[in-house]
Structure 1
Amino acid sequence: MFNKIFSLFVCLCFIFSSKAQEQDSAFIFSYFKGNGEDGLHLAYSGDGLKWSALKGDQSFLTPELSPDKLMRDPCIIKGGDGLYHMVWTVSWTQKGIGHATSKDLINWSEQQYIPVMEHEPHARNTWAPEITYDPSTKHYMIYWATTITGEFPETQVEADNGYNHRMYYTLTKDFKDFTETMLLYEPGFNCIDATIQKNGTKWMMVIKDETREPAEKNLKLAYADDLEGPYSEASEKITGDYWAEGPTVIKNNGEWYVYFDRYMDNHFGVIKSKDLKNWTDVSDQLQFPEGIRHGTILKISNKELNKLKAL
């Protein structure tokens, strides 16, 4: 009897602790404005719908890498080392990506250029990198979209400047040594803007179908048992009859929220689902700072948020 009561007590403590931790946290959205010239911007939210810019919507980090000196598509995660790791697009044409770390999202390390596609003479770009940490292997997987001239001719068209992306990746434990760049996902269509999160025992990828002729320009899902894949065939589209890109995903009050840039309409959208099959559009409840472009969302403590709000 004592063991049963003790087990129940431990279970209740865990539930209350998890609830308290969830309440003592806030969402942070990392984004860029314009072409990404002025660098990293951050906004915060308590409910995932109403967002306010931090630091008066001024930049937290000015880009220094590549001749273009851009900081587009900033993706930030909390790593296994306790640091915040950010990767971003440094240029429209360079063959590498940017990386920097921070303890507090305020003070950042020296910016590192990671030459992920420099070995490929026909690579045209390295766009929209993201980073996911796998605690089971202690690896960080960095993944991005690249067009390699002559690859995948079956989906090559002249529209969209002839870009024909697929997703590639590399692994690292220390951001000094990186594995050989490999193909991550070839769904049979031009794809970009993948973001990956753990969903139970599976890894879930949200990806943009970039097909131009006939136009898709929507978001789809794919799943894998391991972070490196192989990933399943892409699902039917989960977004509506509009062009969407730059997805970022959170779990909020037991529901999945997928945010995306409705870039042709100049505003953001969000859909939510409990089962990842039936989706509800709640974009009319979304409030974002003016001029926001896509990035990623992560959770931080209220203590960390208060430091950011004090700037």
Structure 2
Amino acid sequence: MRRLFYITILLFCTLYNVQAQSKKEVYLFAYFKNNGQDGLHLAYSHNAYQWTALKNDSSFLKPAVSKDKLMRDPCIIRGADGLFHMVWTVSWKDKGIGYASSKDLIHWSEQQFIPVMMKEEGARNTWAPEITYDSDTKNYMIYWASTVTGKFTETASAREDAYNHRIYYTTTKDFKTFSETKLLYDPGFNVIDASIINDQGRFVMFLKDETPEPVQKNIKVAYADQLTGPYSRAGEAITGNYWAEGPTALKLGKNWLVYFDKYRDHQYGAVLSSDLKNWKDVSDQIALPKGLRHGTILTIKQNELNRLLKQ
């Protein structure tokens, strides 16, 4: 009897450990390489600092929409419906974005082109779309950076092909029907690469100040009480004396860890803060796959990672 008792306890503990391990969260980095022509790349981490590329750093999904067929700046979130929803930049000059969904990050739905800026006369581009879910309204907000010729002339510059971006958005409940496109954020300067996190009811927007003269090229933070704004004035730069873009942030306990692309230096950087005000550079503590470009971080379960490791 005693032996049977111990065997039962052992089996229970083993089963418990397996179940606990399967529920343990893993960090997943969705990114692109080169010009985004080969599609979606994924890397994983158990501590959010050291990252390993999946599938030998080959593509999980090749781009199929727009004439340029690119998949830059991928953003993936796990939706309230349990599906993974992804949006991405399809072209340097198109007026829409790409969208697809997946149950397992391996098998994806047919790719769609969402013409979010088609009705906006003078729209030149649609860059770096992201998705944030609002649990109060049950809406997904998709947002991106666009330059519209003739708008915001007070910050116009002839430099860098005269791009002068602001952040626009649309909302959806099902990724089938979408609200009319609206302006989300005009901080009074050229802005791209917005990334928004719901922090216990307060929405935190990380963004790039794209001002070419006097040059900024840094990451800043703004806040709002509602996902669709209005957002506050952007704070001081949280990055250092280098050009930074493509912020993606996550909470590690009480700390905020923000990754970004030091694109002129051809390397990634990261800063850490407990209060979103005082930031410490931890770039020397991170390790990422070579050639990783702008992307986003999400969490998945260990059993989901196990399936990805088999690819």
TM range (shorter): over 0.9
Counterpart code for 1:182: K
SS at match of 2:30: strand
Q: Map 1:249-260; keep pairs closer than 5 Å.
A: 249-260=249-260
CA contact (8 A) 2:23 2:303 kept: no
Q: Which residue of 2 aligns with 1:275?
A: 275
**Whole-Å Cα distance in 2 between the matches of residues 288 and 258 of structure 1?**
14
Letter in 1 for 2:91: S
1:30 alignment counterpart: 30
Write the distance in 1 (CA, Å) between the matches of 2:65 and 2:53.
25
Which SS does the other structure have where 1:105 is aligned? coil
Q: Which runs of structure 2 are paired with 1:12-31 in the superposition (5 Å)? A: 24-31=24-31
Q: Which residue of 1 aligns with 2:245?
A: 245
**Alpha-carbon distance in 1 for matches of 2:160, 2:77:** 31
* Displacement after TM superposition at 1:270 (Å): 0.4
Q: Which residue of 2 aligns with 1:154?
A: 154
In 2: Cα distance, 1:22 partner to 1:196 partner: 28
| Alignment of structure 1 residues 10-89 onto 2, 5 Å | 24-89=24-89
Corresponding residue for residue 129 of structure 1: 129
The letter for the 2-side match of 1:122 is G
1:185 aligns with 2:152: no
Distance, in Å, in 2 between the alignment partners of 1:83 and 1:135 is 15
* % same residue: 63
Distance 2:21 2:175 in 1: 30
> What TM-score, normalized by structure 2, do the two folds share?
0.92
**d(CA) in 1 for partners of 2:164, 2:171:** 23
Query: Structure 1 pair 23/235, CA: closer, same or farther in 2 (3 Å)?
Result: farther
The match for 1:114 is 114
Mapped partners of 1:134, 1:65: distance in 2 = 28
Q: Deviations over 1:76-115 (max 9, x none)?
A: 0000111000000000111000000000000000001100
Please give the root-mean-square deviation of Cα atoms over the aligned residues, in Å.
1.2
Measure, in 2, the Cα distance between the counterparts of 1:238 and 1:57.
30
Cα deviation, residue 160, structure 1: 1.0
Q: Which residue of 1 aligns with 2:303?
A: 303
Q: Structure 2 unaligned segments of length 5 or more: list them.
A: 1-19
Ranges in structure 1 where 5+ consecutive residues have no aligned partner: 1-19
Q: Which amino acid aligns with 2:302?
A: N
Query: 1:294, CA displacement in angstroms?
Result: 1.0
CA drift at 1:175: 1.2
Structure 1 partner of 2:96: 96
Q: What is the CA–CA distance in structure 2 between the aligned matches of 1:99 and 1:270, rounded to whole Å?
A: 28
Distance 2:21 2:310 in 1: 22
Deviations 1:129-174 (A, max 9, x none): 0001111111000000000011000100011110000000000011
Aligned-pair CA distance for 1:176: 1.4
Q: C-alpha separation between the residues in 2 aligned to 1:49 and 1:106?
A: 24
**1:201 Cα deviation after fit:** 2.3
Q: How many Å separate the matches in 2 of 1:44 and 1:118? A: 36
Aligned-pair distance for 1:120? 1.4
Give 1:281 shift.
0.7
Residue aligning to 1:208:
208
Aligned residue for 1:180, secondary structure, equals: coil
- Which residue pairs with 1:228 in the alignment? 228
Matched residue, 1:7: none
Give the whole-Å Cα distance in 1 for the aligned partners of 2:22 and 2:263. Answer: 32
**Separation in 1, partners of 2:117, 2:292:** 28
What is the alpha-carbon distance in structure 2 between the residues aligned to residue 181 and residue 22 of structure 1?
40
Q: Provide the secondary structure at the position in 1 that maps to 2:284.
A: helix
User: 1:23: how far off?
Assistant: 7.7
Q: How far apart, in 1, do the equivalents of 2:89 and 2:81 lie?
A: 23
The count of residues paired between Structure 1 and Structure 2 equals 292
Residues in 1 aligned to 2:21 and 2:237: alpha-carbon distance in whole angstroms = 34
The 2-side partners of 1:226 and 1:171 are apart by 13
Tell me the distance in 1 between the aligned counterparts of 2:175 and 2:22: 30
Letter in 2 for 1:109: S
- Tell me the CA shift for residue 25 of structure 1: 1.1
Question: Does structure 1 conserve the Cα–Cα contact (< 8 Å) formed by 2:21 and 2:302?
Answer: no
* C-alpha distance in 2 between matches for 1:172 and 1:200: 22
* 3-state SS in 2 of match to 1:203: strand
Q: Does 1:166 align with 2:166?
A: yes
Q: Which has the larger radius of gyration?
A: 2
Q: CA deviation at 1:200?
A: 2.1
Q: How much does 1:253 deviate?
A: 3.1
* Secondary structure of 1:212's aligned partner: coil
- Aligned partner letter, 1:157: S
